[in-house]
Amino acid sequence: MEHIENPPGSIQYIIQCIARYNLEIFSELINRNCIDIDILEDIDPDKLKDFTLRINQYMDENASYQTDLKRYVRIISTYLAFIAKKPLHPPDMIVKDNKKIFRKGNNYFCPVKSKHMLEAMSLCKYCVCRVTD
């Protein structure tokens, strides 16, 4: 990520990367022509319900008293997973041992997805990123 002031791996680095990405995605979302969203019919209601349960639980654990932030993150994450089909975390963000989420062709890859998929309420199952070897 360009111009991130904090060292990779630090909580400040992660917060700064995600905040920038979420703002970029929010701008994309509000500037999107909603008429072209035929994809809504393709969203599985059961998957959306499960995703919403997971994101709500995550936000309740990490931002329980920040109602506006919870709503903002839920909207952006739902858009990323079900409409834009982009990673839930920013591409190029260092996630572990100097390894990044990256794009190759039309696919995104995450070096920690296989680990986090094992967590009970992980959102990784809804992220478009593929597992790296």
Q: pLDDT of 44-54, one tens digit each?
A: 999 999 999 99
- Rounded to the nearest 10 degrees, the angle between the axes of helix 67-78 and helix 11-31 is 70
pLDDT category, 2, cuts 50, 70, 90? low
| Partners of 96 in beta bridges | 99
pLDDT category, 100, cuts 50, 70, 90? very high
Q: pLDDT of 69-95, one tens digit each?
A: 999 999 999 999 998 999 999 999 998
Round the average pLDDT of the chain to a whole number and report it: 89
Averaged pLDDT for residues 18-33: 91
pLDDT at 36: 58
Q: Where are the alpha helices (DSSP H) in the chain?
A: 11-31, 45-62, 67-78, 113-116
Averaged pLDDT for residues 50-70: 93
pLDDT at 64: 86
pLDDT at 47: 95
Q: Which amino acid is at 104?
A: K
Residues 122 and 129: their CA atoms lie apart, in Å, by 13
Q: Is this prediction's pTM over 0.85?
A: yes
